[in-house]
Amino acid sequence: MTAQHNGVVIDVSFAEAFPMKATRILITAHNATWAMNAAVSATGFATSVIACGCEAGVERTLGPDETPDGRPGVSVLIFSMSGKELAKQIERRVGQCVLTCPTTAVYAGIAEGEAVALGRNLRFFGDGWQISKVIDGVRYWRVPVMDGEFVAQETTAVTKAVGGGNLLFMATDVDAALAVSEAAVAAMKRLPNVVMPFPGGVVRSGSKVGSKYASLSASTNDAYCPTLYGLVDKTQITPDTRCVMEVVIDGLTEADVAAAMKAGIQAGISIGRAGGLVRIGAGNYGGKLGPFHFHLHKLLP
């Protein structure tokens, strides 16, 4: 059974998501541009845990009144499959992308949860000139650098999170699929506690589990490839759906991912069949891989 909204078919399907570990860090700088430079760099090459080690993205920009030091900032969410891997990614990314970026400082954006190192090990860059400062029970490290001081909170907190929420937009052509995906990502970005880790929030290489090659655990989702229409047995492609884009969502809680998916579905429906959107579906593995199931029909406006 399917439902149509503004001419768009909503599949009777669900997105299957899985537990992850996450943290939020706040990056501030002399101005918003340099805070964003650091954030973009720190969240680069972080699209999928399959090969990046983590999935990360910019959550939102922060005004001077929202940051610990009164400067403009950016909040960043980083997700990984284990706390240990997450700790490794935080250290590498903050060390190489935030410590190095002019005028930045970095703070924990989550208070509750297991503490992992943020500035604790980066302080050794100071070669003995680093200074510890405990303010209101929170330890900060002040590391001398060539533009002054790099200030980093000693630890950040790791919390349980949900990764792999997704929507599949099936459209008449590339223009329509991009327009819908961009609108959905824009709607999701207005919500807190979620990031869409792929380039521009959109992924065109949706995958299925397994491959004909033994060494690969995932391979192209041939059922959604328009170039394989007429070649594969169980295709999801029809003559009027010639381009499919996926938006993947990682969030701090199940409710956050659900809210983002709801906003994405709403954005797609608003564009409607007239805008080229034919179907909205979701990726799952039969319900066996992840404990979080986001049924599209329960998310309808």
Partner 1 sequence: MTAVRIELTLRQAPPLRVDLRGLLPATLADLTVAQIEQLPCGHGNHSVPLGEWFSVQRHEIDGDQSALRLVGDCSRFDRIGTGLQAGQLTVEGPAGDYVGAGMTGGELLVQGDAGLLAACEMAGGRLQVQGSVGDWAASALPGGMDGMRGGSFIVGGDAGERFGDRMRRGTAVIHGRAGDLLASRMVAGTIAVAGPVGARPGYGMRRGSLVLAGPACTPGPTFVPAIADVPVAWQLLARSLARHGGAFATLAQRRMQRHLGDLSAQGKGELILVEP
- Closest distance of CB 75 from partner 1, Å: 17
> Residue 115 or 138: which CB sits closer to partner 1?
138
Residue 59 in tokens = 């959550």
Task: List contacts with partner 1 (CB under 8 A).
Answer: 28, 68-71, 105, 129, 131-136, 140, 142, 148-149, 151
**Tokens 């989702």 -> residue:** 221
Query: Tokens standing for 9?
Result: 């078919």
Residue 78 contacts residue 25 (beta carbons within 8 Å):
yes
Give the chain's end-to-end CA distance (angstroms, integer): 18
Q: How far is the CB of 68 from partner 1 (least distance, A)?
A: 6
| Residue 282 C-beta: closest distance to partner 1, Å | 44
Closest approach, Cβ 74 to partner 1, in A, equals 15
CB of 121 to partner 1, least distance (A): 19
Nearer to partner 1, 103 or 159 (CB): 103
Q: Do residues 178 and 170 touch, judged by C-beta distance below 8 A?
A: no
- Choose between 69 and 175: whose C-beta lies nearer to partner 1: 69
Nearest to 23 by CA among 47, 50, 54: 54
DSSP 3-state of 9: strand
How is the chain split among helix, strand and coil, in percent rounded to 5?
30, 35, 35
Q: Which is nearer to partner 1, 64 or 200 (CB)?
A: 64
Q: Which C-beta is closer to partner 1: that of 68 or that of 272? A: 68
